[in-house]
Structure 1
Amino acid sequence: MKSVFKLSSSRMALVAAFGLAIGFTPAQAADLGGDCCADLEERVAELEATTARKGNRKVSLTVSGWVNEAVFMWDDGTERNTYVGTNSLEQSRVKFTGEAQIAPGYSAGYTLEIGIVGHASNKWDQTTPGTGSNDNQLTVRKSNWWLKSKDYGKVTVGLEGTAMYHILDDADGTNTRSFSDAEGAAVAQGAFFLRSGGAFVNNLRWSDVLRGVNNGTDGQDGRRNIVRYDSPTIAGFTVTASWGEDDIWAMALTYANTLGDFKLLGKVGYGQNSDETISACSKLNGQDCELFGAAGTIMHVPTGLYAYGGFAQNHDKTEAKVSGAKATDTMWFIQGGIEQKWLPLGKTTVFGEYRHDDGGSNLDKNFLGDYVHNSSLDFVGAGVVQNIEPAAMDLYVIYRHADGDITNASADTVKLDAFDMVIMGAMLKF
């Protein structure tokens, strides 16, 4: 739910609105003494002083966002604990969007989105639930302007998601999108240390073996300084292309439609990222990453039964030149469930999911020292999301289990201790 402020400094409009709010009638107004007008004027002045204002009346202003806080209970087989903080999968944020019509069918606008990092869950590990330097920060998630045409599409310039941004996540057509999408497992436990036989494995974290340019998930890129184009939607299809920074480009195709009793949503994309300063494809100098991702959701609308799944891979052409390296990382996932409005408060989504990663190599810049030669990881999860329509709120409970093994630089296979986590929280939108 969004809050839209259409602002006016007209004192007469405020007086009229105030009169209606307190139930004035013409007969009542005639009986008022002289002091009432002074009181009314004082109240109007207070309202004017506390009302948000726009600097440019020609451009609309929409303010939206959400707060997402949760309790995380985890067990790595040796230690268990409970942390509380901001759910980094979809962190709390506030978004400002403006738009002005240039001519019929043409408009210009801007997006400014600020992330609010209270106590970030993606910074936690077994030794501490984050550090003070990670807490209570604001981050600029998006800052861009755009031009849009009904017939020709939209061009965006600035900090924005590339065409491969959330290519898997945004193919989730259910209410698990913000709570357990394709990258949910990687975000939840990425910073925790790996254990084998109760001992830490060379101080490696799950994020060291979960490969991917963005949030440890193959096939997805992040928010970059780019030029992006989104085509008009034709027969359910939308084309997106982006380019920017140090030779980052991508293209994607989205399909969204309802055919009979089935609701369909699908995305597929390909891109390249050779900017080693902003990506984690590998630690090599001169990395050259190729990204591919495809995912989709099909839902039977009358019953609410659905399936959501996808496949993605990263390939580093620089890493492929190193003898013995496994330069291609792949992952696939499947989620199934049912989404129905059994309660008058809102829809309930019940789901189960599975994700498998073949992580490939993670070399250091000199091909020396401890590094991951390969990995095989499995994640099994289940959960419930309950929407509360009157409050624009979602309550969620999610359980996830992870295990697997890695192959180290000495070609030894190390079996990892299982990692379990339960997440309970709420997202309140505004």
Structure 2
Amino acid sequence: MRISREFVSGFGIIAAALILISPAAAADLGGNCCADLEERIAELEATTARKGNRKVSLTISGWVNENLIVWDDGTEHNAYVGTNSVEQSRFRFVGEAKITSDVSAGYLLEIGVQGHPSNQWNQNSPSSSSSNPNNQDNQLLVRKSYWYVKSQEWGQVAVGQNGTATYHLLDDADFTLTRNVDDAEGAAIYLSQFQLRADGNPIGSPALRWTDVLRGFNNSTPGDSGRRNVVRYDSPIYQGFSWAAAWGEASLWDIALQYKNTIGDFDVLVRGGYGQSNNPGTQFSGTPSTYVAGGTACISSSTTTASLPNFRCDWGGAAATIMHKPTGLFVFGGWGTQHIDTGNPTTEQQLIEPVSNVWFIQPGIEQKWISLGKTNIFGEYRHDDAGSNPGKTVSSTINFWQGGIIQYIDAAEMTLYAVYEHADGDVFGNSVTATSGAPVGKTSLDAFQAGIFGAKINF
């Protein structure tokens, strides 16, 4: 296995950052700390967020998450810098007001911010070529926008653009530092738009990408849903148990169950859920230059307009994390599935394999060994048995191997991370896909390696 010098350089960047952050580097405030106090107060007053409704609170928060990715596809290698799409940079406005001692109402508005989104990078350029505004360079996008009414006794009802009940179904079963660095979707997101190679040559015309041979409508991970315009209910927590349900456009509905508790020396979090939708959207070619405005629940798994009548998509999965508190040893793992029924005899012939499955396991250790904060060292294996991508693939088998280290810095609410990823597998095609996608039979993919180095800082 060949690991380029850039990988070593990336780890050096993380190490240098840790060395610089020490008590000796703290600012010397000296005796002039209060000399400009009035000026600073005036400045703060001038920049304070104003609120029109003084009965509703306003809290502004978010984070910036930028990274360097060094990649090697066996033929080419390069290094790109931009926004980490696993947990993109964002800012959030949250407000709430008490109605009674138990009932309150509020709102949440979350805006995503991206420079060069890493899930749009390929061998040709780190600049996005997508005409989907959500995937373009230097964009703001509305991630969530909803109001809610909640009660400690009865739970919460929210209306607007929000995560469905199975949004991040698998990811949110992870309560360790890997959640915002390398969750269940991370392995697929980091490779996303990079082109596949076999014996050094691109596959198909236009060249197939990793996202083409993976299935799952949310970040190529079966079992996870996305953000949609929905009515969502979240129950109160009872002895560690809670549940959520959502209903929205295109007859989308889903439900999720969760159990979170401490049992003896172990922290436990378990999640499971199921969802369904009957709208695949309109024509979608799957190339970066085309998209369907607004998206739909199963758009990434149905690529022909002929599938519109009687279409149905089902998805579900389960995941859990168990951590031994005295040692910090943990295991995070899960399984997800997605089934497509096109409801049309023509497209049914192209959808030879309607089921896509993924499973993964991520063992590691998380402890506070140094005064800066907790350190997480982990490894991961993920395996995808992906179903058909009509006109492009019959099926595929993909393997991901990952390992990394994460350092949290308490004083700055900052996360430094370094992750190594290796991906390989096989893609299967037939006479239909051979025209512009996978060749007939099995094609073994060239291994793809990537080193991801970056930081996420909260505010």
TM-score (structure 1 length as normaliser): 0.87
Q: Matched residue of 2:212: which SS?
A: helix
The number of residues matched between the two structures is 389
Match of 1:144?
146
Superimposed CA distance per residue, residues 72-96 of structure 1 (whole angstroms, 9 cap, x where no aligned partner): 0000111000000000000000011
Match of 1:170?
172
Residue 45 of structure 1 deviates from its aligned partner by 5.6
Residues 117 and 128 of structure 2 are in contact (CA less than 8 Å); yes or no, is this contact kept in structure 1? no
Amino acid at match of 1:236: G
Residue in structure 2 matching 1:381, options 389, 398, 402: 402
Q: Matched residue of 1:188: which SS?
A: helix
Match of 1:245?
249
Runs of at least 5 residues in structure 1 that lack an aligned partner in the other structure: 1-20, 24-38, 364-369
Amino acid at match of 1:337: G
Q: Matched residue of 1:177: which SS?
A: helix
Amino acid at match of 1:159: Q
Match of 1:51?
48
Residues 320 and 327 of structure 1 are in contact (CA less than 8 Å); yes or no, is this contact kept in structure 2? no
Match of 2:222?
218
Superimposed CA distance per residue, residues 314-349 of structure 1 (whole angstroms, 9 cap, x where no aligned partner): 000227962471100001000001000000100000
Residue 62 of structure 1 deviates from its aligned partner by 1.0
Amino acid at match of 2:400: F
- Rg larger in 1 or in 2? 1
Tell me, in whole angstroms, the C-alpha distance in 2 between the residues paired with 1:107 and 1:84.
42
Match of 1:349?
376
Residue in structure 2 matching 1:262, options 263, 266, 269: 266
Match of 1:5?
none
Stretches (4+) displaced over 3 A: 42-48
Q: Does 1:302 pair with 2:333?
A: no
Tell me, in whole angstroms, the C-alpha distance in 2 between the residues paired with 1:266 and 1:75.
36
Q: Does 1:96 pair with 2:93?
A: yes
The structure carrying a bigger strand percent of its residues is: 1
Tell me, in whole angstroms, the C-alpha distance in 1 between the residues paired with 2:46 and 2:455.
33
Tell me, in whole angstroms, the C-alpha distance in 1 between the residues paired with 2:380 and 2:47.
47
Residue 46 of structure 1 deviates from its aligned partner by 5.2
Residue 51 of structure 1 deviates from its aligned partner by 2.3
Superimposed CA distance per residue, residues 281-319 of structure 1 (whole angstroms, 9 cap, x where no aligned partner): 222422311001100000000000000000010000227
Residue in structure 1 matching 2:184, options 182, 185, 190: 182
Tell me, in whole angstroms, the C-alpha distance in 1 between the residues paired with 2:274 and 2:157.
19
Residue 135 of structure 1 deviates from its aligned partner by 1.3
Residues 302 and 342 of structure 2 are in contact (CA less than 8 Å); yes or no, is this contact kept in structure 1? no
Match of 1:419?
448
Residues 86 and 180 of structure 2 are in contact (CA less than 8 Å); yes or no, is this contact kept in structure 1? yes
Match of 1:394?
415
Residue in structure 2 matching 1:228, options 232, 247, 261: 232
Residue 213 of structure 1 deviates from its aligned partner by 1.1
Q: Matched residue of 1:176: which SS?
A: helix
Tell me, in whole angstroms, the C-alpha distance in 1 between the residues paired with 2:376 and 2:128.
34
Tell me, in whole angstroms, the C-alpha distance in 2 between the residues paired with 1:144 and 1:254.
23
Residue in structure 2 matching 1:358, options 385, 400, 409: 385
Residue in structure 1 matching 2:393, options 372, 395, 407: 372
Residue 53 of structure 1 deviates from its aligned partner by 1.4
Superimposed CA distance per residue, residues 259-282 of structure 1 (whole angstroms, 9 cap, x where no aligned partner): 110000011000012221223122
Residue 117 of structure 1 deviates from its aligned partner by 1.0
Residues 168 and 224 of structure 2 are in contact (CA less than 8 Å); yes or no, is this contact kept in structure 1? yes
Tell me, in whole angstroms, the C-alpha distance in 1 between the residues paired with 2:122 and 2:215.
18
Q: Matched residue of 1:214: which SS?
A: coil
Distance 1:337 1:57, change over 3 A: same
Runs of at least 5 residues in structure 2 that lack an aligned partner in the other structure: 1-32, 131-135, 282-295, 432-439
Q: Matched residue of 1:219: which SS?
A: coil
- Alpha-carbon RMSD across the aligned residues, in angstroms, is 1.9
Amino acid at match of 1:187: I
Percent identity over the alignment is 54
Amino acid at match of 1:333: F
